[in-house]
Each structure stands twice: as C-alpha cells, then as structure tokens.
Amino acid sequence: MIDQHLPLARLADETAEKFQQRFGRPPQWVVAAPGRVNLIGEHTDYNDGFVLPMAIDRYTVLAAGRSPGGEPPRLRMVSGHKQGEAVIPLNIPLQPGQPAWANYVLGVAAGFAALGAPLASLDILVESNVPLGGGLSSSAALEVAAATLFEVVTGHRLDPVEKALLCQKAEHEFAGVPCGIMDQFTSALGRENHLLLLDCRSRQAELVPLSDPAVSVLIINTNVKHHLAGGEYARRRQQCEAAARHLRVRALRDAHLDQLKTQHDQMDPVVFRRARHVITEIGRTVRAATAIKASDWPEVGSLMYDSHDSLRDDYEVSCAELDEVVEIARKIGPGNGMIGCRMTGGGFGGCAVSVVQSAATRDIAKKIHGDYQQKTGIQPALFVSRPAAGATVLKA
C-alpha cells in the first residue's frame, strides 16, 4: 500500500546513465533538489505569515554537460516525464515559450543572466520521483535543481535565500504562478530530520527537530487535480489583500483575530472568512512548532484537523476527495496511531499530509487506501518520508 521509490543515490545513477545513452558521453554535473510537504501553515506564506514545511526524500535530478560545438548558445533539455526535446536559444532575450515545462528552467537561466552570469550551451537530462502537479512542489524542485546546476556551471554561487528568491521569481514570471517563498526555500534549505518554521516576512527559518523514529509523516496523494486551481489562487490572494487594506495592516500577519471580529459587520463576508483562516492558521502554525518540540502529539493532531476545517470552510480550497481522506483519518483516530491529518498545498486536489505513530503506518496506509478507493473509485498513492536535506551537488 505504501509506494516505494528509489533512494537519491540510485536515482542519480540512473539519471547519469540516461544522459550517457541520450548524449553519448557521461554528464559533467549531477545535481538534485527535493520536493516538499507542508505540515501546517497553508495559504499563509503570501500573507507574510509562518509555514512549517519539510523537504521530502523525493528529488528532481539534473544530469548535464556542455554541448560540443555549442554556438549560438542554447539549452537542450529532455525530461523523463515529457515527450521530445526542448531547445532554447540563449542568445536572444529569454522569454517564456513552449514547451511549458521548460519555462521553469528558462526562468532560472534568465535570473542568472540578470546577475551577470550567463550560460554557455548545455545538454540537460531531467529525472524526478516527485509527482508532477501533486502539490509536493515538483515545480520548485525543478527550479532549485536548475539553480544548483547553474551555480556550478557558471561558478556564480548564490546565498541560499537569494537562490530561493531567484527561483520564486522564475515561477512568477515564467510559469505565471504568483507563489510565496515556501516551496523554493524548502527545496533549497531543507535539513535532514528537521521541519523549517519559516517566517515568510523575514525569511528566517527556525529548525524544528522531527527525528523521533516513533513518529512518521505519511503523505496521501488523492490523485485528483481540479482545474479551477489557478484562478482561485489569484482570487484568494486578492481577497487577502483586500482584508489587509480594510484592517489597515501591511499584511494579514499583522492583524489579530479580535481586531478582525470588530469588523465583522463592515466587511464582505467572504473576505472576512478568508482573513479568519489566515489569521488563525498563522497562530496554529506557531503553536504546532511548539507542540512538536514538546512531543505533544494530541495538540499537533488537533491543530492539523482545525487547519483542515478552516481551509475547507473559511478558505474554501479543499475538495471532496481531500475531505474524504481527512474523514477517514479522523475515524482511524489516535487510538490506532493516527495523530492528525489535513490537506496540504494549494488545495483543490493534490495531497493530504498526516502524522502517524510509525508502528501503525502500514495498517493506517492500508485502511486509507481501501476506504478512499471504495468511497471515490480513485486509487490514491501513499508514501512515507522523513524530513530530507535540500538541494545538493552530486557530481561536479
């Protein structure tokens, strides 16, 4: 019931082998960057709030080499997840184009060019065991892997926070997704056996140990993605901005629940509920970090369920399938090792994240798999991950 996947070293070897098969020579560089899962703190990042993510031990790996006779300069890219080859000329101003997936790398290349570190011709082979479009941030993994590659290729080293910001800009400007800083930050700065309590305003992260082998993170991919996601995300951002303006604060991070409540009758009811989610979620995130440090698992569980309810009812970004997973988890309950569960990521499908007693993981996974499939007719994917390390250079 629990998906197994290749450890990073094996995935890296396979990627290097595929590069050799495709381009007839071994790669000069192999780099990797992980996906991420957010334990709590959803839709708080673009409100200058707190998030509590970890890097997962699933990675996007890039094997690359300089192209022989590479003039005019261009990137030639192949991905195991996509048909055909993407060839991108680098001697003209870099702009988003086709194929769409190449834009994530192109945006990062544009960031390096803007720093005065342009690229020469490269061949790049991409492999990944982060599910694409599943809410575990394969997009940030691809961007951060590209930035890690371009650092070694150009010799232009970035401070890790600067690197995350460069990748975020790529996602804004080349993929058209106005995301916060969490995904790229976690992929770049993840730490083994630690969550990151990230202050999205100061961009400082506090490391929160999650190293107790008796507790595991179980991720459940609903394997649905509802298509309203893009437009709804932008609408939520606008509603948060409207709420902050109404409350006369710089961002919802600066507002208090009591202050919001006094405005109940003066505010649009939908904007009010959006703000209530963000303000309470920021509080829950900070409390969850404290509870995890104290191994107060009942508190962690109750914060996770409250987070889910708030995302479902006030923020309205859940969906029937995510709600189903969380209901199944609630029924399993703490007596059977289920500590807590909630939707994670932007919403409208994708993944739920749960914290479970390690000894019960197999039974819980079996139960969720069976019940979810029975209720929805959809086969979920489940896997366990310990908090993993961020981007790494494996061959240089």
Chain positions contacting ligand ADP, by CB under 6 A:
60, 79, 81-82, 100-101, 104, 126, 128, 132-139, 142
CB 314, CB 299: distance < 8 Å: no
In the list Mg ion, ligand ADP, none, the entry touching 302 (Cβ below 5 to 8 angstroms by class) is: none
Q: Which residues contact 232 (CB under 8 A, 6 or more apart)?
A: 317, 347, 348
Q: Distance (Å, rounded) from C-alpha 204 to C-alpha 195?
A: 13
Query: Do the strands 29-38 and 392-395 form a parallel or antiparallel pair, or are they unpaired?
Result: antiparallel
Element (H, E) at 384: strand 381-385
Q: Is 103 in the site for Mg ion (CB under 5 A)?
A: no
- Which two three-digit tokens encode residue 216? 């595991």
What's the Rg (C-alpha) of the chain?
A: 21
C-beta of 2: minimal distance to ligand ADP in Å?
A: 20
Q: Is 129 in the site for Mg ion (CB under 5 A)?
A: no
Nearest-CB residue for Mg ion: 139
Q: Distance (Å, rounded) from C-alpha 214 to C-alpha 360?
A: 10
Q: Quote the distance between the C-alpha of residue 215 and its chain's center.
A: 21
Element (H, E) at 125: strand 122-128
C-beta of 289: minimal distance to ligand ADP in Å?
A: 23
Catalytic residue selected from 45, 183, 314, 371: 183
Please identify, using beta-carbon distances, which residue of 225 and 293 lies nearer to ligand ADP: 225
In the list Mg ion, ligand ADP, none, the entry touching 79 (Cβ below 5 to 8 angstroms by class) is: ligand ADP
Number of residues that bind Mg ion (CB under 5 A): 2
For the chain, how far is it from start to end, CA to CA, in angstroms? 37
Q: Distance (Å, rounded) from C-alpha 371 to C-alpha 391?
A: 36
**DSSP assignment letter at 99:** S
C-beta of 105: minimal distance to Mg ion in Å?
A: 14
Please identify, using beta-carbon distances, which residue of 139 and 222 lies nearer to Mg ion: 139
Q: Is 139 in the site for Mg ion (CB under 5 A)?
A: yes
Please identify, using beta-carbon distances, which residue of 79 and 361 lies nearer to ligand ADP: 79
In the list ligand ADP, Mg ion, none, the entry touching 135 (Cβ below 5 to 8 angstroms by class) is: ligand ADP
Please identify, using beta-carbon distances, which residue of 139 and 354 lies nearer to Mg ion: 139
Please identify, using beta-carbon distances, which residue of 101 and 372 lies nearer to ligand ADP: 101
Active-site residue flag, 183 = yes
**Window of 112-120, 134-142, 215-223, 258-266 that interacts with Mg ion by CB under 5 A:** 134-142
In the list Mg ion, ligand ADP, none, the entry touching 109 (Cβ below 5 to 8 angstroms by class) is: none
In the list Mg ion, ligand ADP, none, the entry touching 134 (Cβ below 5 to 8 angstroms by class) is: ligand ADP
Quick check: bond before 72 cis, omega within 30?
A: yes
Report helix, strand or coil for 190.
coil
Question: Taking the alpha carbons of 38, 40, 44, 48 in that order, is the dihedral positive or negative?
Answer: negative
**What residue ranges bind Mg ion (CB under 5 A)?**
137, 139
Give the residue numbers annotated as catalytic, written as ranges: 183
